[in-house]
Amino acid sequence: MQLALLLRPSSEVEERIGRVAAESGGRLRRVFAEPIPPADALWSLIIDADRSMSGQLIPAVSATAERRGMDVGRLLESGRRRTRAVAWQALLSELRPQGGTVIIPGPEHLDGLATSRTTALKQLSRIHAQTRLLYLPEPVARISQTDAAPVLVGQFPVKAFAAALEVTSLKAWWHLSQAGLSYLRTDVEAVLCALIEARMPTEPVEVLDEIRVRLHRTTHALLIEVHESENHSHEPIPDLVRQRCTRVSRCTAPTGGTITHAEIPLSDTTPSPAR
């Protein structure tokens, strides 16, 4: 399990895993838990400080990094890779001699292990013939969010100004990494930057577009919603967005402005371009 993804105390999750193991006719041999990477802990402090400073800190960090020729997102991702998937590799080593039953809190815990969920499942299936995978059942009082409705990965505002693309990339990366979806960063960054770059004025203007980005996940896809304060519903969606996504749409928001929806699959497969 990934500690950063737990919605309940780890001790409670371990207890539930032990019960499922017993109900399956076995016993809990060992718990493998991915630690929270130091880069994530550091960035969470920056995110909180940015909120208290009315969104001024991250643009300042981004601008400073740009002057020094650094990519903050890639720097943080590099820091995450150095500590990520340690428990996963230990689990694979444990299974290699004789297999066993792997009990995971939920499928999202297979995301972000230096590879995609699909590849992680293939690794499990090939490690030993006697290996099987179980997910913890949802508590009776709680409906599975993954099956019932899209789950919010993150949301953040953006102003269409000079550092908008860098700020968008950093904030999107943070939310994706927290949800175990950092392997989608390239596609998500490309889609968001294409949409936001279209709103960045080439000349001084009195009113800048106020943009809000929302990221949701379903069982099979990441849903991107970009709400713009101005009405651009008559404008075509950039070709790059259609190439990266399986579904795209644009409409006038009920409260005014424009909403653009885009969908990226949670898999290793190359999506068929949206029409």
When pLDDT is averaged across residues 201-221 and rounded to a whole number, the result is: 77
Q: Which CATH class is domain 146-265?
A: alpha beta
Cβ–Cβ under 8 Å, residues 16 and 49: no
- Is 269 a residue whose pLDDT tops 70? no
When pLDDT is averaged across residues 137-165 and rounded to a whole number, the result is: 66
Q: What is the DSSP letter of 165?
A: H
- Supply the angle between the helices 72-81 and 57-67 in degrees, to the nearest 10: 90
When pLDDT is averaged across residues 38-48 and rounded to a whole number, the result is: 74
Which pLDDT does position 148 carry in this prediction?
45
CA distance 68 to 189: 21
- Supply the angle between the helices 164-178 and 57-67 in degrees, to the nearest 10: 110
CA distance 32 to 9: 15
Q: Across all residues in the chain, what is the average pLDDT?
A: 80
Which pLDDT does position 63 carry in this prediction?
79
Task: Provide the 3-class DSSP secondary structure of residue 211.
Answer: strand
Structure tokens at 257: 């402005």
- Supply the angle between the helices 72-81 and 38-52 in degrees, to the nearest 10: 140
Domain range summary for the chain, segments of one domain joined by +: 3-34+84-135, 146-265
- Is 201 a residue whose pLDDT tops 70? no
When pLDDT is averaged across residues 177-184 and rounded to a whole number, the result is: 80
Maximum average pLDDT range among 57-66, 109-118, 235-244: 235-244
When pLDDT is averaged across residues 12-34 and rounded to a whole number, the result is: 87
Which pLDDT does position 241 carry in this prediction?
94
Q: Which pTM value belongs to this model?
A: 0.56
Ranges of beta strands (E only) in the chain are: 100-104, 131-135, 151-159, 210-217, 221-228, 247-252, 258-265
